[in-house]
C-alpha cells in the first residue's frame, strides 16, 4: 500500500508535468513561430512542435511510469508499454496523415515530450531519495 505522502507527491508531479508541458509547448511555439501546412485551404500557424504529440507522450508516458513503479506484475508491463507507444504513434501519424502538421513538427513533439517526461522522472526519483535520507 502506498503512503499518502507518496500519493500526494505523485499527483503533484503528474499535474505539474502536464501543466508544465502545456506551458513548454506555448513557449516553444512562440520561439519558433513556424507556420504549418495549408489544410483545407487554411494556413495553420505555430505548429512546431506538435502540441498533440507532446501532450500525449507526456500524459501517457508519465502515467505509465507511475503505474509501472507501483505495480510489479510482469503481465502488465509489456501491454502497458506497447499501449503507450501505440497511442503516441497513432496521434503522430494522424497529424501527418490529415495534413495538419509536418513530420518534423510531430518528431519535435516526441523529442520535447520525451525530454520533459525524462527530466521529471529523474527529478521525482531524486526527490524520493532525498526524502528517504531525511527520514
Predicted local distance difference test score (pLDDT) of residue 1: 41
- What is the chain's pLDDT, residue by residue, as a tens digit (135 residues)? 456 777 888 899 999 999 999 999 999 998 988 887 876 566 667 888 899 999 999 999 999 999 888 887 888 888 999 999 999 999 999 999 988 889 999 999 999 999 999 999 999 999 988 877 766
Decide if 64 contacts 113 (C-beta within 8 A).
Answer: no
Domain boundaries, the chain: 50-124
Predicted local distance difference test score (pLDDT) of residue 129: 86
Predicted local distance difference test score (pLDDT) of residue 63: 93
Amino acid at each position: 500500500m502506498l503512503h499518502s505522502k507518496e500519493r500526494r507527491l505523485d499527483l503533484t508531479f503528474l499535474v505539474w508535468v502536464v501543466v508544465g508541458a502545456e506551458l513548454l509547448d506555448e513557449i516553444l511555439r512562440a520561439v519558433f513561430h513556424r507556420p504549418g501546412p495549408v489544410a483545407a485551404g487554411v494556413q495553420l500557424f505555430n505548429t512546431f512542435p506538435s502540441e498533440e504529440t507532446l501532450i500525449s507522450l507526456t500524459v501517457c508516458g508519465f502515467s505509465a511510469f507511475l503505474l509501472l513503479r507501483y505495480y510489479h506484475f510482469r503481465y502488465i508491463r509489456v501491454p502497458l508499454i506497447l499501449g503507450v507507444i501505440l497511442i503516441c504513434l497513432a496521434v503522430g501519424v494522424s497529424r501527418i496523415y490529415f495534413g495538419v502538421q509536418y513530420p518534423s513538427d510531430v518528431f519535435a513533439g516526441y523529442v520535447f515530450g520525451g525530454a520533459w517526461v525524462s527530466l521529471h522522472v529523474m527529478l521525482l526519483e531524486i526527490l524520493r531519495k532525498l526524502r528517504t535520507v531525511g527520514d
